[in-house]
């Protein structure tokens, strides 16, 4: 289960902020319309932050599921008998879940060298990646992407997006739970959560997670730096999704090898 990283102290501070702004609006009733508008904007911003902070685990999973559905709508999914789907099923055998996360694997019939995982357990692997990588190299990429989920990297991005966008900061009603997000809103979320580059610290942590994943499942750890070597060699070509969203693979390969020896 995804954990809310805001905590009681954060909620208390957000509540205090909203209370302070409400008081300010009350004092400004007789002020000029421009001042009242600025205070009203501040109140709206405070409410957005408070609403985003109050999104529950279940609502977060619902938002991720909507993003997954949109990505599946945009990309051609390999049917069960397709060679890519058959291969993905074989190389993920015995992996219905990992580290408490139930996993849903599908292959995209897309030539990009890419893969992603998100907080509802969705894992998508592109045909272009499978064309270039061995089974264990694909597994390492999967482990790295699961690492982003379990280390809360995507969840933190989603929460920031909810804080920044008034339309997305509405968590839902008691009767409906997390509301449905429009296609146009989902496009922005996907760009902010799935398609943007993680920090160097996040990538390093996910690389370490991938190495531990490989060891825990009995897969060949050396496939991880080997995969980075391939990415480095592919760097001059176009359509390399993993190079757009991840840092220099040559340096990552060097660091992985050093860590494996330690």
Whether the pLDDT of residue 223 is over 50: the answer is yes
Q: Please write down the long-range contacts of 103-107, taking CB distance under 8 Å and 24 or more positions apart.
A: 103/146, 104/68, 106/72, 106/77, 106/78, 107/77, 107/78, 107/82
Residue 139 maps to a domain: yes
Q: Are residues 43 and 150 in the same domain?
A: no
Q: Which of 86, 82, 156, 154 is nearest to 120 (CA)?
A: 154
Q: By percentage, how much of the chain surpasses pLDDT 70?
A: 69
Average pLDDT, the chain: 78
Catalytically annotated residues? 145
Residue 39 maps to a domain: yes
Q: Are residues 108 and 38 in the same domain?
A: no
Whether the pLDDT of residue 54 is over 70: the answer is no
Strand order from edge to edge, sheet including 122-126: 104-108, 122-126, 115-117
Query: In total, how many domains does the chain have?
Result: 2
Average confidence (pLDDT) over 63-84:
95
Q: Are residues 28 and 142 in the same domain?
A: no
User: What b/e sequence results for 66-94 when a residue is b if at least 16 CB atoms lie within 10 Å of its CB, and e otherwise?
Assistant: bbbebbeeebebbeeeeebbebbeebbee
Q: How far apart are alpha carbons 83 and 3 in whole angstroms?
A: 37
Residue numbers of the domain that contains 94:
58-154+195-261
Higher pLDDT, 23 or 200: 200
Q: Residue holding tokens 């264990």?
A: 136
- The pLDDT tens digits for 123-139 are 999 999 999 999 999 99
- The pLDDT tens digits for 2-19 are 334 444 454 454 444 444
Please tell me the predicted confidence (pLDDT) of residue 183: 72
pTM for the full predicted model: 0.74
Q: Are residues 235 and 253 in the same domain?
A: yes
Q: Are residues 200 and 77 in the same domain?
A: yes
């Amino acid at each position: 289960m995804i954990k809310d990283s805001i905590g009681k102290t954060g909620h208390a501070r957000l509540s205090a902020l909203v209370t302070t702004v409400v008081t300010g609006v009350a004092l400004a009733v007789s002020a000029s319309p421009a001042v009242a508008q600025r205070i009203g904007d501040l109140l709206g911003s405070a409410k957005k932050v408070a609403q985003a902070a109050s999104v529950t685990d279940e609502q977060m999973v619902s938002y991720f599921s909507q993003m997954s559905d949109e990505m599946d709508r945009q990309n051609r999914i390999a049917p069960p008998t397709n060679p890519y789907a058959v291969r993905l099923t074989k190389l993920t055998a015995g992996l219905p879940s990992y580290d408490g996360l139930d996993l849903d694997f599908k292959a995209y019939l897309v030539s990009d060298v890419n893969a992603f995982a998100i907080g509802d357990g969705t894992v998508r692997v592109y045909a272009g990646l499978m064309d270039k990588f061995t089974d264990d190299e694909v597994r390492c990429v999967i482990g790295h992407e699961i690492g982003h989920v379990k280390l809360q990297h995507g969840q933190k991005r989603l929460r920031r997006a909810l804080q920044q966008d008034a339309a997305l900061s509405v968590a839902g009603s008691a009767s409906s739970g997390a509301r449905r997000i429009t296609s146009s809103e989902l496009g922005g979320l996907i760009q902010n959560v799935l398609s943007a580059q993680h920090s160097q610290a996040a990538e390093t942590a996910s690389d370490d997670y991938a190495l531990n994943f490989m060891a825990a499942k009995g897969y060949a750890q050396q496939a991880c730096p080997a995969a980075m070597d391939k990415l480095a060699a592919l760097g001059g070509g176009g359509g390399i999704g993993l190079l757009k969203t991840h840092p220099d693979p040559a340096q990552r390969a060097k660091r992985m090898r050093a860590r494996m020896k330690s």
